[in-house]
Amino acid sequence: MSPRSVVTVCGVHSLRDTASPIVVGMGARWKDVAIAAGLAGGDGVVRPTIFAEMSALAARTESANLGQGFPDGDGPEWIREAAINAIREGENQYPPGRGIAALREAIAAHQARHYGIALDPDTEVLVTAGATEALTAAILALVEPGDEVLTLEPFYDSHAAAIAMAGATHTTAPLVPHEGGFRLDLEAMRSAVTVETRLILVNTPHNPTGTVLSRDELQAIAEEATRVDAVVVTDEVYEHLTFDGAIHVPFATLPHMRERTITISSAGKTFSLTGWKIGWATGPAHLIEAVLAIKQFLTYTGGAPFQPAIARALTEGDTDITRLRDTLNARRERLVSGLEQAGFTTVRPAGTYFVCADATPFLSAGVPDGAAFARWLPEHVGVACVPLAAFCRDGSATAAQLRNWVRFTFVKDDATLATALERLARLPQLPQL
Ligand code: PMP
Ligand code: GLN
């Protein structure tokens, strides 16, 4: 038998549109990544991510797309103008590998102003191609094959993919739904941290559950990180999207944690500019140096005209952030109450722009779980969402517990939300599925 296998890798928008066969070695790392992200089909075909799949399905069925989390509207005009001016003024060649000084200074000033974290912009700040690149570079930089990396579960898909790229073992600590929100199972977290745990990946505010981890939960993680001397990477891309007075506690602000923490964020959520892909990693110089060693061979650098625009946004954009938070808060209220009225049980999110809902009342033999429901809903009701199973490891206890759950986003304009809610209100009247 040939030692090589022929596989088909597909474009991200549909299983059919850009299929092209490629030949790869049997042990190639892409398979581990596809499996870790739950995208490996038994037929050797890699499926698109759940977000791409659901957006394609939404487009095909003309559904209100409450699946993939990207805003309908663009970010503030003055920030977009700043990027246009930067292009006109010649910011079109490679920026420095660490990012332009103005942006690194703005990131350091942002961390100092909001959280009291002091950073040296020359050595403790690194600009990346979105939070995604920062996460992947940090994990590739800091773990070796066989090391354990602990995440929360459910987890954002790129977390699992990056762990697989590094050849590391993914372990998880569950977030469990309660009436007041999803909370970290502290006992399970403690027993999941072992001497093999090299890195703990925290995400707060948390996608998909909307949980803002409490100081006590973070402190419990900090104690475990100290016990086994693990590095902590914290994904805080929703840092400004908190509601009901929930306070975002950056992990690096916990006692003694600054020295072992890489904090990651990006402009995408904060300024509704997800396509610009300007992110950053901050932390002690030796850890940032390690991340840079990888990052410089992933993209080297990027986003030349966007960097000065985001530097200004971080410096002058606090009012825009407040406005976005207020708008999202109103939309959250609308979506949560609309889902409840339609018959879902929801968990009210304290942060992010996602609401998780238990779809059990709408399941049947033909549509037996959240994954089937999410694929059924666009075709029959005209609304797209994302199943929580896509954020869980196949076969895990959390996957079983959240089997019937789906995630809806409220980062959509009022008209889209109104259409979605009107359509969802008809769910209880539909004949048994
Ligand atoms: N982390 C989380 C938890 C996210 O939800 C997202 C994107 N939605 C990212 C990272 C990726 O951010 P970016 O687009 O800046 O790469
Ligand atoms: N983070 C977005 C979400 O959770 C999706 C981003 C993506 O498609 N990779 O919906």
260, 328: one domain:
no
- Domain annotation covers residue 140: yes
**Is the pLDDT at 15 greater than 50, yes or no?**
no
Q: What pLDDT score does 1 carry? A: 32
Mean pLDDT of the chain: 93
Q: Which residues contact 307 (CB under 8 A, 6 or more apart)?
A: 86, 91, 95, 99, 100, 102, 103, 127, 278
Q: What pLDDT score does 46 carry? A: 87
Relative to the CA of 133, which ligand 1 atom is closest?
A: 16
Among 300, 317, 334, the domain-final residue is 317
Among 317, 340, 363, the domain-final residue is 317
In angstroms, what is the span from residue 158 Cα to ligand 2's centroid? 9
Work out the average pLDDT over 288-316.
Answer: 98
132, 239: one domain:
yes
Q: Calculate what percentage of the chain has a pLDDT beyond 70.
A: 93
Q: What pLDDT score does 25 carry? A: 56
Best residue among 139, 158, 248 to mutate for probing ligand 1, ranked by most atoms within 8 Å of CB: 158
Instruction: Name the least confident of 35-39, 61-65, 81-85, 239-243.
Output: 35-39
Please report where in the chains the tokens 């946004």 appear, as a residue: 313
Instruction: Name the least confident of 31-40, 167-176, 308-317, 324-333.
Output: 31-40
Tell the residue nearest (CA) to atom 9 of ligand 2.
51
Q: What pLDDT score does 24 carry? A: 54
**Is the pLDDT at 7 greater than 50, yes or no?**
no
Work out the average pLDDT over 212-233.
Answer: 98
By the 8 A CB rule, do 139 and 161 touch?
no
Relative to the CA of 129, which ligand 1 atom is closest?
A: 16
- Domain annotation covers residue 236: yes
195, 284: one domain:
yes
In whole angstroms, what is the distance from residue 62 CA to residue 69 CA?
Answer: 17
In angstroms, what is the span from residue 51 Cα to ligand 2's centroid? 6
Work out the average pLDDT over 300-315.
Answer: 98
Domain hosting residue 374, numbered range: 50-74+320-429
68, 206: one domain:
no
- Domain annotation covers residue 94: yes
Among 317, 352, 387, the domain-final residue is 317
- Domain annotation covers residue 122: yes
**Is the pLDDT at 382 greater than 70, yes or no?**
yes
C-beta of 235 in contact with ligand 1 (< 6 A): yes
292, 391: one domain:
no
**Is the pLDDT at 2 greater than 70, yes or no?**
no
Q: What pLDDT score does 14 carry? A: 33
Q: Got the DSSP string for 136-192?
A: HHHHHHH--TT-EEEEEES--HHHHHHHHHTTPEEEEEEEEEETTEEEE-HHHHHHH
Per residue in 81-92, pLDDT (tens digit) is: 999 999 999 999
In angstroms, what is the span from residue 20 Cα to ligand 2's centroid? 24
Q: Report how far apart, in Å, the C-alpha atoms of 182 and of each of 4, 208, 213 are.
A: 45, 10, 9
Relative to the CA of 158, which ligand 2 atom is closest?
A: 9
149, 101: one domain:
yes
348, 377: one domain:
yes
**Lookup: tokens for 369:** 């779980």
In angstroms, what is the span from residue 68 Cα to ligand 2's centroid? 6
- Closest among 174, 195, 233, 185 to 396, alpha carbons compared: 174
By the 8 A CB rule, do 404 and 417 touch?
no
Q: What pLDDT score does 45 carry? A: 81
Work out the average pLDDT over 123-133.
Answer: 98
Per residue in 98-116, pLDDT (tens digit) is: 999 999 999 999 999 999 9
**Is the pLDDT at 231 greater than 60, yes or no?**
yes
240, 389: one domain:
no
Instruction: Name the least confident of 14-23, 131-140, 276-285, 408-417.
Output: 14-23
In whole angstroms, what is the distance from residue 39 CA to residue 65 CA?
Answer: 21
Q: How many domains does the chain have?
A: 2
Q: What pLDDT score does 292 carry? A: 98
60, 134: one domain:
no
208, 157: one domain:
yes
- Beta carbons within 10 angstroms of residue 285's beta carbon: 13
Work out the average pLDDT over 126-149.
Answer: 98
In whole angstroms, what is the distance from residue 118 CA to residue 284 CA?
Answer: 10
In angstroms, what is the span from residue 3 Cα to ligand 2's centroid? 36
Band (pLDDT 50/70/90 cuts) for residue 433 is low
Q: What pLDDT score does 349 carry? A: 97
- Domain annotation covers residue 425: yes
Best residue among 159, 251, 269 to mutate for probing ligand 1, ranked by most atoms within 8 Å of CB: 269
pTM beyond 0.85: the answer is yes
Q: What pLDDT score does 432 carry? A: 55
Best residue among 39, 54, 55, 70 to mutate for probing ligand 2, ranked by most atoms within 8 Å of CB: 70
Best residue among 33, 51, 406 to mutate for probing ligand 2, ranked by most atoms within 8 Å of CB: 51
**H/E segment holding residue 110:** helix 101-115
* Ligand 2, CB cutoff 6 Å, lining residues: 49, 51, 68-69, 207
